[in-house]
């Protein structure tokens, strides 16, 4: 089976779609190693390098027109988009010119109207898990945290019982592959102002563009806390499990922390994230960074043993998604 995957990531969009795409491809090839998968992106060389970790061919495209021409040329049986801003015109043209089954994941445009399958894990259902299949058209819709595509290690760590939280000593900061709001520097600075001593692990991505400011914060550290900075780590689940709390942006990392049992604090990067999460998982913004010390002392975290969270069955719908892609 020929599969075409289109995804993008950058300093504004972040890299969540890129990492989810890589995970999805791993699962697909695990199910069927004979799959012929090609990737297409309009993103910069650093993102292309990330996508090449899949072992699949990656093609840079300068426009949607070029993407469409390549899709028509290749005649894939499955076309998968994983990005926020899929062009409705591109999706419409794909359905008019090709017979492929069209999947659109995590997209917020009207292109979803042309898809055979859509998936929205954290936006659109107020975190309720919903599966819909239209009786006439056969169109399938997946909504809710059940349909996050988690890496294998998170399913393993979910089975391990974590010791209940006592004093907070180990803090992990992970605000996405690009962290456009630079919460990495701002939150770290507030932690280092505290008289308490912590072990702080900061994870940044390949598109992080605030290195100079971050270095100023770390080099000006007069506290007793230790800071370790990592970039593009592969053992996220293990590191999350070793910390007392994780500060993250809403999205995949936020839910990954919950899955393995480490409390989380969310900082929204934009108004869209704030609105999507506010009724279930209230998040913090730039103006709230000054309250980091109070949050840590009072342990105002989101805990995974919350009954509402348990009902979300985070990531447990993975096989339903794979089946939908691979079935004839």
Q: Tell me, what's the pLDDT at 139?
A: 97
Contacts with 74 (C-beta within 8 Å, 6 or more apart), sequence order:
2, 4, 38
Residue 91 has pLDDT above 90, yes or no: yes
Closest Cα partner for 177 from 19, 27, 311, 3? Answer: 19
Per-residue pLDDT averaged across 111-139, rounded?
A: 94
Q: Tell me, what's the pLDDT at 307?
A: 81
Highest mean pLDDT among 110-114, 148-152, 306-310: 110-114
Residue 324 has pLDDT above 70, yes or no: yes
Query: Using DSSP, how many helices (H) and how many strands (E) does the chain show?
Result: 13, 13
Report the predicted TM-score, pTM, of the whole model to 2 decimal places: 0.86
Per-residue pLDDT averaged across 166-193, rounded?
A: 92
**4 pLDDT band (50/70/90 cuts)?**
very high
Q: Tell me, what's the pLDDT at 261?
A: 92
Per-residue pLDDT averaged across 175-200, rounded?
A: 92
Task: Kindly state the percentage of the chain with pLDDT values over 70.
Answer: 98
Per-residue pLDDT averaged across 209-213, rounded?
A: 92
Residue 13 has pLDDT above 70, yes or no: no
Secondary structure E strands in the chain = 2-7, 36-41, 57-60, 78-82, 101-105, 117-120, 130-133, 140-143, 170-174, 199-204, 226-231, 245-248, 264-266
**14 pLDDT band (50/70/90 cuts)?**
low
What CA–CA distance (Å, rounded) separates 149 from 14? 17
> How is residue 189 written in tokens?
């600075």
* pLDDT tens digits, one per residue of 51-90: 999 999 999 999 999 999 999 999 999 999 999 899 999 9
Q: Distances in Å between the alpha carbon of 288 and those of 150, 181, 247?
A: 29, 13, 13
Residue 232 has pLDDT above 80, yes or no: no
**159 pLDDT band (50/70/90 cuts)?**
low
Closest Cα partner for 27 from 323, 327, 257, 328? Answer: 323
Hunting for tokens 């002392």 — which residue is that?
A: 297
Task: Kindly state the percentage of the chain with pLDDT values over 90.
Answer: 74
328 against 302, higher pLDDT? 302
**Residue pair 192/292 in contact by the 8 Å Cβ criterion:** no
**205 pLDDT band (50/70/90 cuts)?**
confident
Q: Which helix (H) or strand (E) holds 214?
A: helix 211-219
For residues 29, 35, 36, 42, the Cα torsion angle rounded to the nearest 10 degrees is -40
Q: Tell me, what's the pLDDT at 100?
A: 97
Closest Cα partner for 94 from 118, 119, 65, 120? Answer: 65
What CA–CA distance (Å, rounded) separates 257 from 236? 9
Question: Residue 267 gets which letter from DSSP?
Answer: B
**16 pLDDT band (50/70/90 cuts)?**
confident
Q: For residue 296, how many C-alpha atoms fall within 13 Å in the half-sphere facing its CB?
A: 28
Per-residue pLDDT averaged across 33-49, rounded?
A: 94
Give the strands of the sheet with 245-248, arranged side by side: 226-231, 199-204, 170-174, 245-248, 264-266
Q: Tell me, what's the pLDDT at 11?
A: 59
């Amino acid at each position: 089976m020929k599969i075409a995957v289109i995804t993008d990531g950058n300093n504004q969009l972040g890299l969540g779609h890129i990492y989810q795409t890589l995970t999805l491809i791993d699962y697909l090839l695990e199910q069927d190693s004979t799959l012929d998968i090609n990737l297409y992106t309009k993103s910069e060389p650093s993102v292309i390098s990330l996508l090449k970790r899949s072992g699949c061919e990656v093609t840079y495209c300068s426009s949607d027109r070029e993407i469409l021409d390549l899709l028509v040329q290749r005649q894939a049986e499955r076309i998968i988009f994983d990005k926020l801003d899929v062009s409705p015109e591109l999706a419409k043209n794909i359905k008019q010119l090709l017979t492929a089954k069209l999947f659109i994941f995590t997209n917020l445009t009207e292109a979803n109207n042309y898809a055979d399958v859509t998936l929205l894990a954290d936006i659109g259902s107020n975190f309720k898990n919903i599966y819909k299949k239209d009786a006439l058209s056969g169109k399938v819709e997946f909504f809710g945290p059940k349909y996050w595509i988690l890496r294998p290690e998170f399913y393993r760590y979910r089975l391990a019982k974590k010791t209940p939280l006592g004093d907070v000593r180990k803090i992990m900061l992970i605000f996405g592959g690009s962290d456009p709001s630079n919460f990495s520097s701002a939150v770290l600075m507030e932690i280092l102002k505290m008289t308490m001593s912590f072990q702080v692990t900061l994870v940044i991505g390949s598109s992080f563009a605030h290195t100079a400011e971050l270095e100023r914060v770390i080099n000006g550290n007069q506290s007793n806390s230790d800071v370790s900075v990592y970039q593009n780590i592969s053992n996220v689940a293990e590191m999350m499990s070793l910390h007392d709390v994780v500060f993250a942006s809403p999205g995949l990392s936020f839910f990954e922390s919950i899955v393995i049992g480490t409390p989380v604090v969310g900082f929204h990067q934009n108004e869209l994230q704030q609105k999507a999460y506010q009724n279930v998982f209230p998040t913090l913004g730039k103006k709230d960074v000054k309250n980091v010390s109070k949050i840590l002392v009072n342990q105002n975290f989101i805990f995974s043993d919350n009954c509402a969270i348990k009902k979300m069955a985070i990531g447990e719908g993975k096989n339903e998604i794979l089946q939908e892609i691979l079935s004839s």
